[in-house]
């Protein structure tokens, strides 16, 4: 496990975490100040060894959000790297500095599979963040299924620069390599040069989000050394949001690599993934993982049997990777769970081979216009094909005639920006005419979260419309 020039071997990690675990046995749950440092990983692994639920805390939370998380989770301790200055909201929680010095300790017996392992807070786009309680059973099942899908073994070295307070960076990016017995090199901060250096040295797999792959595509086109480093990786994996068709094709052209995509959410971990040796289409996230039950349902909750890659339905998931519920929120848990199935709020189509093509969030990415169901993603891909568009997000907003009209939020690549008629006409030549944007709004940047995902709810709030 390596962060920059600091590292721990498996033997060292075992000794360090056993010592720390012994100090956590009396706690019910502990918060972990989740900076991208070696100590964060040690704290989480020690909590798992002690059978204590760990609550990774995003160091960038504002005072109100941080206060809510701490009040809701009520941790017995806050674990942090020595010398780290913690905000005022955490001063009432007893602090324990994470030592990397090995002391005598013996790991306790393995807790029950249903016992809480992690409590990861959602982004809170529709209200205060909710604590997703993930049991040990879910972590084990999810990682094992991904390892089978990607032939991920102890011979692999994972490279990434993902934050450690989300599923992507922590569960997949830290606990994943530990469970399969491989190596992990965290870059602490992302840069194309750092990615290339690590892949050229020892890395076999790269995890990233679309924003990172967008930058890697540009770098690979300009620098043969970066293209060569990406080319020699065994697997490039993108997640947390849909990778644009443009960036997928640019990376393929520059490196020969076809990026593997996967789909999941905090409450269900990863549920679909393109297989290591399966077909790699730029617009799919692959079929469900082994052991995961997945179905599409219509607006009335009826199961959709069609596998025509056209019929849109909401994704529902069941199986061993599901969460236990939201901490202190049985009402919110009941809203998303029914008969053992999780309503994800995401919509997709399903193809003959079982692969899903994501449309996006039901609330913001499925646009019902003129009697048609339109996915925002394909319009975004079409607009990104226009030379005058640098970035784009598509939403729907109320329209008295159409029900909803298609709105494009464009960060222009040129000055002056392309005209609305030009963009609408461009989309109409690539897609059905009813999918063209009726409104174009120009921005200097799109609102994004820590993982680079566009926060479409913020765009909707700009106009005050509930699309």
pLDDT single digits (tens) 364-404 = 778 888 777 888 888 998 999 999 999 999 998 888 888 88
Residue carrying structure tokens 């301790």 = 77
Q: Where residue 424 falls among pLDDT bands split at 50, 70, 90?
A: very high
Q: List every span in the chain annotated with CATH 3.40.50.980.
A: 2-111
Please, what sign has the CA dihedral across residues 66, 460, 271, 282? negative
The SS3 assignment for 241 reads: coil
pLDDT over 90 at 131, yes or no: yes
Q: Which two tokens stand for residue 223?
A: 């620098």
Tell me the C-alpha distance between 120 and 175, whole Å: 14
**What's this model's pTM, rounded to 2 decimal places?**
0.87
Written in H, E and C, the secondary structure of 429-441 is: HHCCHHHCCCEEE
pLDDT over 50 at 466, yes or no: no
Residues with Cβ within 8 Å of 419's Cβ and at least 6 positions away in sequence, in order, are none
Q: Which two tokens stand for residue 277?
A: 């040796």
Q: Which two tokens stand for residue 284?
A: 């799919």
Q: What are phi and psi of 438, to 5 degrees?
A: -90, -25
Residue carrying structure tokens 């077909």 = 279
CATH class of 2-111: alpha beta
List the end-to-end C-alpha distance of the chain, in Å, as a whole number.
44
Quote the pLDDT of residue 124: 56
**Burial grade of 145 (CB within 10 A; 0-12, 13-18, 19 or more):** buried
Angle at the Cα of 192 (from 191 to 195), degrees rounded to 5?
90
Task: Give me the helices (H) in 4-135, please.
Answer: 10-22, 38-50, 63-73
Quote the pLDDT of residue 311: 93
**Burial grade of 303 (CB within 10 A; 0-12, 13-18, 19 or more):** exposed
Fold for the domain defined by 366-463: GMP Synthetase; Chain A, domain 3 (3.30.300)
Between 453 and 390, whose confidence is greater? 390
Q: List every span in the chain annotated with CATH 3.30.300.30.
A: 366-463
Average pLDDT of span 75-99? 95
pLDDT over 80 at 319, yes or no: yes
Quote the pLDDT of residue 433: 86
pLDDT over 50 at 290, yes or no: yes
């Amino acid at each position: 496990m390596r962060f920059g020039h600091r590292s721990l071997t498996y033997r060292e990690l075992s000794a360090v975490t056993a010592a720390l675990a012994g100090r956590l046995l009396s706690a019910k749950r502990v918060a972990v100040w989740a900076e991208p440092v070696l100590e964060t990983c040690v704290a989480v692994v020690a909590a798992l060894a002690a059978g204590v639920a760990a609550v990774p805390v995003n160091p960038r939370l504002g005072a109100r959000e941080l206060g809510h998380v701490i009040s809701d989770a009520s941790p017995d301790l806050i674990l942090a790297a020595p010398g780290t200055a913690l905000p005022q909201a955490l001063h009432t929680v007893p602090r324990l500095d994470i030592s990397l010095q090995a002391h005598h300790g013996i790991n306790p017996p393995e807790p029950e599979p249903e016992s809480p392992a992690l409590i990861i807070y959602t982004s809170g786009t529709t209200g205060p963040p909710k604590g997703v309680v993930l049991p040990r059973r879910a972590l084990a099942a999810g990682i094992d299924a991904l390892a089978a899908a990607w032939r991920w073994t102890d011979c692999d070295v994972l490279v990434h620069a993902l934050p450690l307070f989300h599923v992507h960076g922590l569960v997949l990016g830290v606990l994943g390599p530990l469970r399969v017995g491989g190596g992990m090199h965290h870059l602490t901060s992302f840069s194309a040069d750092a990615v290339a250096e690590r892949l050229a040295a020892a890395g076999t797999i790269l995890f990233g989000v679309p924003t990172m792959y967008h930058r890697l595509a540009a770098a690979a086109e300009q620098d043969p050394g970066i293209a060569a480093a990406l080319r020699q990786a065994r697997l490039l994996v993108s997640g947390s949001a849909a990778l644009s068709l443009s960036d997928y094709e640019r990376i393929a052209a520059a490196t020969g690599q076809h990026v593997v995509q996967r789909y999941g959410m905090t409450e269900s971990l990863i549920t679909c993934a393109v297989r290591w040796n399966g077909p790699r289409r730029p617009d799919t996230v692959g079929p469900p993982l082994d052991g995961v039950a997945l179905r599409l349902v219509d607006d009335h909750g009826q199961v959709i049997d069609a596998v025509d890659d056209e019929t849109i339905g909401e994704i529902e998931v069941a199986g061993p990777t599901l969460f236990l519920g939201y901490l202190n929120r049985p009402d919110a848990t009941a809203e998303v769970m029914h008969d053992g199935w999780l309503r994800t709020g995401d919509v997709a189509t399903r193809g003959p081979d079982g692969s899903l093509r994501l449309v996006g969030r039901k609330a913001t990415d499925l646009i019902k216009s003129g009697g048609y169901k339109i996915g925002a993603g394909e319009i975004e891909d079409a607009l990104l094909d226009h030379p005058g568009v640098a970035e784009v997000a598509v939403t729907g907003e109320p329209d008295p005639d159409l029900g909803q009209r298609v709105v494009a939020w464009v960060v222009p690549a040129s000055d002056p920006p392309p005209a609305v008629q030009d963009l609408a006409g461009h989309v109409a030549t690539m897609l059905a005419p009813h999918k063209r944007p009726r409104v174009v709004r120009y921005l200097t940047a799109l609102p994004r979260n820590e993982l680079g995902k566009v926060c479409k709810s913020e765009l909707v709030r700009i106009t005050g419309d509930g699309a």
